């Protein structure tokens, strides 16, 4: 831009110089005609008119050339500005394309992270289920060993069995005896009924046996069932 401004200023100064020289020439010719003191000075009107016409034509051409150069300089400036704007637009497009690529990569990274997150969640669920299954197996295998290793008064095996059946310990024990040996359980139940029905008689007989120091006969009653 500085070089173009310098060229335009130099051209303008040159044309101004031409204009000044022509104006000086016109004044000189007019002065010569005015100083001619002959009684009948020759008529320079036609000559001066031609010179003036030529001078005006020269001035017009000089003015036209000056304007043309100025217009050319302006055209250069406009072209340079357009070129600069195009370059800026290209740079903006390039920058936008880069940002779009970066955004695409970011979205791809997010999608990949989401996929990895889903895979990790699936592995976590599988690991959790596997841990639960392994824990159940370990509990089944080692629970009895652990329960039998503690003191008997803690009743861990009995409590574990009742809790497994979801019943009180007494009822759970009856169910296990009935399931394991039905006949033996029936005999136990029958003996319990006899003792319950003849509790007083059995107590009297027990005292007699203690005094006698030997077995005694005890009359008892047995129902039809």
Show the 3-state SS of 66-78: HHHHHHHHHHHHH
> Is pLDDT at 86 greater than 60 in this prediction?
no
The domain in which residue 200 lies consists of 181-225
Same domain (yes/no): 100, 21? yes
Alpha carbons 84 and 130: distance in angstroms, whole number: 68
Task: Name the residue with higher pLDDT: 116 or 183.
Answer: 183
What tokens appear for 78 in the block?
């406009």
pLDDT for 14 equals: 58
DSSP 154: G
Mean pLDDT of all residues in the chain? 70
Predicted local distance difference test score (pLDDT) of residue 73: 62
* pLDDT computed for residue 150 by the predictor: 64
Which has more pLDDT, 2 or 178?
178
Question: Are residue 111 and residue 189 in the same domain, yes or no?
Answer: no
Q: What is the pLDDT of residue 70?
A: 65
Number of domains in the chain: 2
Q: Give domain status of residue 31, yes or no.
A: yes
Tell me whether residue 208 is in a domain: yes
pLDDT at 93: 54
- pLDDT at residue 193, rounded to an integer: 87
What pTM was computed for the model? 0.34
- Residue 141 falls inside a structural domain: no
């Amino acid at each position: 831009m500085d070089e173009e401004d310098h060229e335009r200023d130099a051209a303008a100064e040159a044309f101004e110089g031409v204009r000044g020289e022509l104006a000086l020439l016109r004044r000189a010719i007019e002065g010569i005609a005015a100083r001619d003191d002959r009684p009948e000075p020759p008529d320079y009107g036609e000559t001066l008119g031609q010179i003036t016409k030529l001078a005006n034509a020269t001035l017009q051409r000089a003015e036209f050339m000056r304007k043309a150069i100025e217009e050319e300089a302006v055209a250069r400036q406009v072209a340079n500005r357009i070129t600069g704007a195009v370059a800026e637009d290209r740079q903006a497009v390039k920058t936008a394309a880069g940002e779009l690529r970066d955004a695409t990569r970011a979205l791809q990274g997010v999608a990949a992270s989401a996929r990895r997150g889903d895979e990790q969640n699936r592995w976590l669920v599988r690991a959790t289920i596997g841990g639960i299954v392994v824990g159940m197996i370990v509990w089944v295998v080692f629970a009895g060993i652990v329960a039998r290793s503690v003191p008997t008064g803690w009743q861990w095996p009995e409590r574990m069995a009742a809790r497994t059946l979801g019943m009180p310990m007494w009822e759970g024990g009856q169910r296990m005896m009935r399931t394991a040996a039905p006949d033996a359980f029936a005999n136990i139940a029958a003996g319990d009924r006899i003792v319950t029905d003849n509790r007083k008689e059995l107590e009297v007989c027990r005292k007699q046996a203690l005094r006698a120091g030997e077995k005694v006969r005890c009359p008892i009653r047995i129902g039809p069932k």
